[in-house]
Every structure is written in structure tokens, then in C-alpha cells.
């Protein structure tokens, strides 16, 4: 069965272009929600991201005048990927398929990495047995690091996979999030610090 893509694109010419070509490439293209949720949403604005991101993967088609602040806000709202305009259709299709593959795999019910437990279904995090409240991107960053807790993830890699950035550039987004995450995971005095900064390379969860 083909993947159902909800096309929440307000611009008529772009919507018509995508409807035609995505259908030719085997996708079921929806102009409005059906009886059940779609497999993926192509969103034209942040309202659509907020409406769908808690239920299905969302890719934002950014406006031509959008800048890095718009991109960051889209990821903060919960989008899975961001494609700026003008976009190459072939790249968009590749990104759609990549996001669908990631969502189809589904994470393990509970991921344990040292003293950290992550329950994906409820987005519940515990460190040293105590529950920790995390913001959305802090949770996604922790989940990525916990996949291979002693591996060093480069900054470029984390910014690409968690925020969708193409390069680290001059942003301090990753550093500020890791600092907050490290502070929140240190639930009491005397416990080992988590989220290790490997200078000049990136971060890992455990020593």
C-alpha cells in the first residue's frame, strides 16, 4: 500500500505540481485529512506543524524569504525535516522517503543507557531512578545520544539529525541544549555527570 501524504500547501501552483508528481511516484496524495491520519504531512506553515507533529511525521516546505530563525522555530514546533524553497523535487522525495523509513522502524519501547531510561511511547525520561522533565529538543537530543551512549556524535551530525541543519555554522543551539540537558540529568549531588563534551569533536552520553 502506498504512503498517504497530506499536502498542506497553500500555494496553488506548488500544490498542483506536487500532487501530480507525488502521485506519479506512487504516493497517495491527500488534500484534506481522511478517516485516519496520513503517513506524513507536508506543511506550509507552523500551524500545520503544531496540529500534526504529535501524531505523524511532518516536513516543512519553508518560504523563500525564510531564514535560520524560521527553520529553528519549525523544529522547535516538532517538524521532522525542513526543505527550503526553491526546492529540488528529487531531494524532497528523497527526504520524504527517509522520514517515512525512520518512522516505520519505530523505537524500542524502553531504551536504557547507563543510568538513563527513555520510554518512547510516553516520552518519559528517568535518570538515576528519578523522573526528568525535558523540553522537546532536549528529549530528541537525549534519545539520539542514547542510541549509542559511548559513541561520540559530531556537532554537525547532531545538528543535522536532531535539528535538520546542514552544517554547524555559527549557531550555539546545540551547545545551549546540551548544557541544559546535562544540568537536568544531574538529578542530585554526587551522581556522575552525563552528556560529555569531547572538545573539538562533539558529544556523547556516557564516559
- The total number of structural domains that make up the chain: 2
Please indicate, yes or no, whether residues 157 and 142 belong to a single structural domain of this protein: yes
Please indicate, yes or no, whether residues 116 and 100 belong to a single structural domain of this protein: no
CATH assignment of the domain containing 131: 1.10.10.10
Please indicate, yes or no, whether residues 66 and 42 belong to a single structural domain of this protein: yes
CATH assignment of the domain containing 31: 3.40.50.2300
**Domain final residue pick, 62, 86, 105:** 105
What local confidence, expressed as pLDDT, does residue 160 receive? 85
* Average confidence (pLDDT) per 10 residues, the chain, 207 residues: 82 90 91 76 87 85 84 85 89 90 68 87 86 90 90 88 72 89 89 88 90
**Domain final residue pick, 80, 105, 130:** 105
pTM: 0.53
Compute CA distances 170 → 15, 173, 175, whole Å. Answer: 34, 9, 11
Please indicate, yes or no, whether residues 95 and 9 belong to a single structural domain of this protein: yes
State the residue range of the domain holding 89: 4-105
Question: Could you tell me if 43 and 8 are in contact, meaning their C-beta atoms sit under 8 angstroms apart?
Answer: yes
Please indicate, yes or no, whether residues 54 and 101 belong to a single structural domain of this protein: yes
Q: What is d(CA 164, CA 204) in angstroms, rounded to the nearest whole number?
A: 19
Please indicate, yes or no, whether residues 124 and 190 belong to a single structural domain of this protein: yes
Give, to the nearest 10 degrees, the angle between helix 173-185 and helix 136-147.
80
What local confidence, expressed as pLDDT, does residue 9 receive? 82
Please indicate, yes or no, whether residues 45 and 86 belong to a single structural domain of this protein: yes
Please indicate, yes or no, whether residues 130 and 187 belong to a single structural domain of this protein: yes
**Domain final residue pick, 60, 82, 105:** 105
Count CA atoms within 13 Å of residue 183 on its CB side: 7
Amino acid at each position: 500500500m502506498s504512503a498517504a501524504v497530506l499536502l498542506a500547501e497553500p500555494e496553488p501552483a506548488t500544490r498542483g505540481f506536487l500532487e501530480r508528481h507525488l502521485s506519479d511516484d506512487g504516493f497517495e496524495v491527500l488534500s484534506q485529512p481522511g478517516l485516519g491520519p496520513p503517513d506524513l504531512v507536508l506543511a506550509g506553515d507552523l500551524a500545520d506543524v503544531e496540529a500534526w507533529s504529535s501524531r505523524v511525521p511532518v516536513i516543512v516546505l519553508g518560504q523563500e524569504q525564510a531564514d535560520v530563525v524560521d527553520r529553528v522555530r519549525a523544529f522547535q514546533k516538532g517538524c521532522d525535516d525542513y526543505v527550503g524553497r526553491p526546492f529540488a523535487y528529487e531531494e524532497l522525495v528523497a527526504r520524504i522517503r527517509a522520514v517515512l523509513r525512520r518512522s516505520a522502524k519505530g523505537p524500542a519501547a524502553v531504551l536504557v543507557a547507563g543510568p538513563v531510561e527513555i520510554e518512547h511511547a510516553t516520552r518519559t525520561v528517568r535518570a538515576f531512578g528519578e523522573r526528568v522533565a525535558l523540553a522537546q529538543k532536549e528529549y530528541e537530543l537525549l534519545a539520539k545520544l542514547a542510541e549509542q551512549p559511548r559513541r561520540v556524535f559530531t556537532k554537525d551530525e547532531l545538528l543535522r539529525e536532531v535539528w535538520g541543519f546542514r552544517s554547524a555554522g555559527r549557531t550555539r543551539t546545540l551547545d545551549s541544549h546540551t548544557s541544559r540537558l546535562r544540568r537536568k540529568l544531574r538529578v542530585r549531588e554526587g551522581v556522575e555527570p552525563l552528556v560529555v563534551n569531547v572538545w573539538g569533536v562533539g558529544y556523547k552520553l556516557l564516559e
